């Protein structure tokens, strides 16, 4: 296995809205390429999809920062005059649109109206979900046909190289330096997602500070055991398992 420091340095970076480095790997490079390609898109929008914690929300923020697009949610879309709502910006992003539709927080009619208003204004829309829009349970035929026609790009689970880079970055953000031995323990047992990496680094750092201990393999194993299978925490999932829908 290549040293984690080298892995982190070899990975390209993108700057996210919150100024964090966005690391690029084989699992997300296609999605990043589409965002880099904007505004030269062949359709008035883009759908990003993948399992919980794969980085969809992070990439939405990258696009928001680059385009000045407006982030929408079910509450903002309750307004009647969507044309006025997007008057200051014709580009919008609706994160976790699949879940909002599935839970009834967002009606199909409202999303169709938003789509039509954005297109008529010459703008664009970005949507995310755990599946491609063609697989969403949509009964409104006009909406289903419009969303199915959007380019849909999957973001896969990060590989060891990308996860190692993310872990090094997250520890560094907390002024902590970790070695290859710590990363090997984490990579062997953790859930394969960026969200799991954030939870683990936070828990490990908090424990190390509270107990005044060095971040070493022994401490990491204790935290992983305390958090449950895969080091994911109560109610979460371990490696190779499917977790709840999310970003």
94 forms beta bridges with 72, 127
| Residue 11 pLDDT > 80 | no
* Token code pair at residue 150: 């959007």
Greater confidence (19 vs 211) lies with: 211
Whether residue 149 lies inside any domain: the answer is yes
3-class SS string, the chain: CCCHHHHHHHCCEEECCCCCEEECCCCCHHHHHHHHHCCCCCCCEEEEECCCCCCHHHHHHHHHHHHCCEEECCCHHHCCCHHHHCCCCCEEEECCHHHHHHHCCCCHHHHHHHHHHHHHCCCEEEEEECCCHHHCCCCCHHHHHHHHCCCEEECCCCCHHHHHHHHHHHHHHCCCCCCHHHHHHHHHHCCCCHHHHHHHHHHHHHHHHHHCCCCCHHHHHHHHHHHCHHHCCCCCCCCCCCCCCCC
- Assess if residue 11 is contained within a domain: no
Please give the mean pLDDT across all residues of the chain: 83
The encoded tokens of residue 71 equal 């982030």
> Within a 10 A sphere around the Cβ of 68, how many other Cβ atoms?
11
Domain that holds residue 227: 157-231
pLDDT band at 80 (very low <50, low <70, confident <90, very high): low
Q: What pLDDT was estimated at residue 237? A: 39
Distance of CA 173 to the CA centre of its chain: 19
Residue owning tokens 């993948």: 50
- Domain final residue pick, 154, 172, 193: 154
The CATH number linked to 194 is 1.10.8.60
212 occurs within a structural domain: yes
Residues 119 and 39 in one domain: yes
> Are 51 and 107 within one domain?
yes
Same domain? For 223 and 187 the reply is yes
Q: Which of 91, 120, 154 is the last residue of a domain?
A: 154
Whether 66 contacts 149, CB under 8 Å: no
Mean pLDDT, range 158-176, rounded to an integer: 92
Phi first, then psi, for residue 174 (nearest 5°) are: -100, 20
Q: Is residue 238 part of a domain?
A: no
Report which of 144, 116, 119 is spatially closest to residue 132, judged by C-alpha positions. Answer: 144
Q: Does the pLDDT value for residue 233 go beyond 80?
A: no
Q: Are residues 162 and 112 in the same domain?
A: no
**pLDDT tens digits for range 115-166:** 998 898 888 999 999 999 999 999 999 999 999 999 999 999 899 999 999 9
| CATH code assigned at 63 | 3.40.50.300
- Phi/psi-derived region of residue 233, left when phi > 0, alpha when psi is between -120 and 50, beta in every other case: left
pLDDT band at 175 (very low <50, low <70, confident <90, very high): very high
Residue with the larger pLDDT of the pair 204 and 122: 204
Taking the C-alpha atoms of residue 245 and residue 247, their distance in angstroms, rounded to an integer, is: 7
Token pair in block for residue 108: 């199909």
- pTM summary value: 0.77
Q: Residue 4's pLDDT band (boundaries 50, 70, 90)?
A: very low
């Amino acid at each position: 296995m290549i040293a984690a420091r080298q892995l982190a340095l070899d990975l390209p970076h993108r700057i996210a809205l919150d100024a964090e480095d966005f690391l690029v790997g084989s699992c997300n490079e296609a999605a990043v390429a589409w965002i880099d390609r904007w505004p030269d898109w062949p359709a008035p929008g883009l759908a990003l999809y993948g399992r919980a914690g794969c980085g969809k929300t992070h990439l939405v923020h990258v696009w928001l920062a680059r385009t000045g697009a407006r982030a929408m949610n079910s509450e903002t879309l309750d307004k009647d005059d969507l044309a006025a709502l997007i008057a200051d910006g014709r580009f919008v992003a609706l994160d976790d649109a699949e879940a909002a539709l599935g839970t009834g927080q967002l009606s199909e009619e409202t999303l169709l109206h938003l789509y039509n208003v954005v297109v008529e204004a010459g703008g664009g829309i970005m949507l995310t979900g755990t599946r491609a829009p063609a697989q969403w349970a949509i009964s409104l035929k006009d909406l289903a046909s419009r969303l199915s026609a959007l380019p849909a790009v999957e973001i896969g689970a990060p590989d060891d190289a990308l996860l190692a880079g993310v872990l090094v970055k997250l520890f560094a953000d907390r002024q902590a330096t970790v070695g290859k031995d710590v990363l090997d323990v984490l990579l062997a047992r953790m859930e394969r997602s960026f969200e799991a990496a954030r939870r683990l680094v936070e828990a490990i750092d908090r424990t190390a500070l509270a107990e005044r201990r060095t971040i070493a393999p022994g401490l990491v194993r204790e935290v992983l055991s305390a958090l449950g299978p895969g080091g994911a925490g109560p109610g979460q999932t371990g490696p190779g398992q499917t977790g709840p829908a999310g970003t």
